[in-house]
Amino acid sequence: MTAATTGVPAKQITDEDVAYMKSFIGESAVVVQWNEEASTDSIRHYAWGIGDENPLWLLDSYAQTTRYGTRIAPPTFLYSVCDAEVAMGMSEGIQAIHLGADLDFRRPIRLGERVRARAFVEDVRERVGRRSGRLVEQVGRTDYFVGEELVGIVRNTIVCVARSSGGQRMHEPRDPHVYTDEEKEQIRAAILAEEIRGQRTRFAETVSVGDVVPQVVKGPLDLITMTAYYAGAIGTAGYRGVETRVRQQERVRNGDPSAPTNLGPEHFLSEPFPSLGHQDAAMAHAIGMPGAYDNGNQRVSWMAHCVTNWMGDDADLVSLSVRIKQPGVFGDTQWIGGEVTRVFRDEAHGACAEVTVKAINQLGVETTSAVAVVSLAETRSS
């Protein structure tokens, strides 16, 4: 998330820190995949984890009637294969925070296909935050293959900031939001009213700038939701039972060739595990977050969910660019919707629509923005 601060962190990022991170540009990372196959179970677990019950992902009887002839995985299932978190060379005291992602979808992943991930640091760049001082952004690129075919590319942008300490933090603590019974019922009704376009083909000639992209509602965020998400896309190789985590830590410490290197060693060696902030409020506060908070890839998946609902089965999601502006903490609800902002033709994809969507939380704060490109079906000549 963005690194808005209330003071200058005790540790500063040094020239040596920056030079070391830049030394990893172009270097391949050892990644440990969560899923290797788009199986019945892995697709279902991921779809449930992101709260997306599109029958194209979940029902064989439905999917067999579509142009695919079989179930396919949600586009962001790529994160279930490998979370694409790449931020190498971070020294002790530097915190990695998900800033955004740019995803390029070459084609859907079909039921039964085996997927392989390859990751490396593509770029490292410095900037100065308005309130947070010196920052380093790392862009990690992860390529996904079925056999030798490139089926998707994810570029996750990670901002590396000096970890909060001494009472100075990126965000002030915030208690979970308390909803009235009426607000709870409104959220429930909105979830049940979610519209999935499905087999009602959205032809290019019917799409215009300003068309509304209906909302999906996510939340209120809670521990079970986070657990369900991690069941589908566990994240880095540090998310393991304590016994296997100890063994993995030993592999990292000893430089075992099988040990993950996509993040700095401290990420895998720290106790308590840094990413417990996604589930535990005390750990979240310790790293300067307002409370236990959602996962950046999870937020990307929610934005994609809104777009795939709108576009239907006969369109293709070509790309998705997401910027995360504020953390979502336990108790938060996100209303995600938008509109068509451009209609155009592309040499590679034919008739396309650019769709812009935003996530607004229950406090009226815009937490996330995204721009998607969708390749639309064209009306056949009679």
pLDDT at 96: 82
pLDDT at 1: 37
- 13, 160 in Cβ contact below 8 A? yes
pLDDT digits (tens, 9 = 90+) for 240-279: 888 988 999 999 999 999 999 998 888 888 777 667 778 7
In the DSSP assignment, the letter for residue 177 is P
If phi > 0 it is left, if psi is from -120 to 50 it is alpha, else beta; for residue 205 that is alpha
Distance between CA atoms of 49 and 372, rounded to whole angstroms? 22
pLDDT at 8: 41
pLDDT at 127: 83
pTM: 0.92
Rounded average pLDDT per 10-residue block, the chain, 382 residues? 40 86 95 96 98 98 98 98 92 83 98 98 85 82 98 94 61 88 97 97 97 97 94 82 90 93 86 74 78 92 98 98 95 97 96 98 97 92 43
pLDDT at 164: 59
Instruction: Write phi, then psi, for 376 (nearest 5 degrees).
Output: -100, 155
pLDDT at 282: 79
pLDDT at 190: 97
Distance between CA atoms of 57 and 318, rounded to whole angstroms? 18
pLDDT at 130: 63
Instruction: Write phi, then psi, for 356 (nearest 5 degrees).
Output: -110, 125
pLDDT at 5: 35
Distance between CA atoms of 352 and 334, rounded to whole angstroms? 27
Q: Which among 84, 94, 109, 39 has a CA at the least distance from the CA of 300? A: 84
Determine the CATH number of domain 15-375.
Answer: 3.10.129.10
Distance between CA atoms of 42 and 121, rounded to whole angstroms? 27
pLDDT at 382: 37
Alpha-carbon distances, residue 192 vs 200, 218, 253 (angstroms): 19, 12, 48
pLDDT digits (tens, 9 = 90+) for 299-319: 999 999 999 999 999 999 999
Query: 264, exposed or middle or buried, with CB in 10 Å at 0-12, 13-18, 19+?
Result: buried
pLDDT at 268: 86
